[in-house]
């Protein structure tokens, strides 16, 4: 057995498809009768279709789940959020965790929580470029020193 998709229930499927396409680069793979399957395993279903299937009225975005995305350049993504044509509501403004990872949490148009976290390889490179030693980066990020060394050496060869 394997997990195929994560399905979230939405009020306006067209608005949600635009949101996930424009901000996260997801593409629609299938689109039929109040259902859309997007890349990365995300499926959207119109609230009315879901309520008919489960025979129960629901509230979209009740705060009981979170979608997690990783981004290599969080600063560029934050600029993208600010320039998005519709107002984006923040669940949690950008912050940096003690291990160095920067994250932001927002709501999608239906109130589902989305966390966008800086990829840990990007965190490692950023901290190293800021002048931390390999050992300091390893201690802060909790990534084993050998992995930190590999990430930073691969980055140095690319420059």
CATH number at residue 41: 3.10.180.10
Are 79 and 103 in a shared domain?
yes
* Euclidean distance between CA atoms 149 and 82, whole angstroms: 35
φ, ψ of residue 104 to 5 degrees: the values are -140, 145
* Phi–psi pair at 156, nearest 5 degrees: -65, -35
Residue 44, domain extent: 1-58
> Same domain, yes or no, for 31 and 73?
no
Q: Which tens digits make up the pLDDT trace of 16-66?
A: 999 999 999 999 999 999 999 999 999 999 999 999 999 998 888 877 689
Q: What is the pTM of this model?
A: 0.86
Whether residue 92 is found in the same domain as residue 111? yes
Mark whether 4 and 54 lie in a shared domain: yes
4 and 53 inside one domain: yes
Same domain, 10 and 48: yes
Q: Do 9 and 32 lie in a common domain?
A: yes
* Domain match, 112 and 127 both: no
pLDDT value of residue 159? 44
Number of domains forming the structure of the chain:
3
Compute the half-sphere exposure of residue 85: CA atoms within 13 Å on the CB side of its CA: 4
**pLDDT score for 156:** 61
Please indicate, yes or no, whether residues 54 and 93 belong to a single structural domain of this protein: no
Q: Tell me, yes or no, whether 143 and 130 share the same domain.
A: yes
Burial class of residue 38 (count of CB atoms within 10 Å of its CB; 0-12, 13-18, 19+) = buried
CA–centroid distance for 43 within its chain: 15
């Amino acid at each position: 057995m394997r997990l195929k998709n994560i399905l979230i229930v939405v009020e306006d499927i067209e608005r949600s498809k635009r949101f996930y396409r424009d901000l996260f680069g997801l593409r629609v793979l299938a689109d039929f009768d109040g259902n859309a399957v997007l890349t990365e395993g995300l499926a959207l279903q119109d609230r009315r279709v879901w309520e008919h299937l489960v025979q129960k009225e629901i509230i979209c975005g009740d705060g009981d789940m979170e979608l997690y995305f990783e981004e290599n350049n969080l600063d560029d993504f934050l600029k993208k959020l600010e320039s998005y044509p519709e107002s984006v509501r923040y669940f949690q403004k950008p912050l940096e965790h003690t291990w160095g990872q920067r994250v932001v949490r927002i709501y999608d148009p239906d109130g589902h929580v989305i966390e966008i976290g800086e990829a840990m390889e990007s965190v490692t490179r950023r901290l190293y470029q800021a002048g931390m030693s390999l050992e300091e980066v390893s201690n802060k990020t909790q990534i084993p020193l050998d992995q930190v060394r590999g990430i930073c050496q691969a980055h140095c060869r690319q420059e």
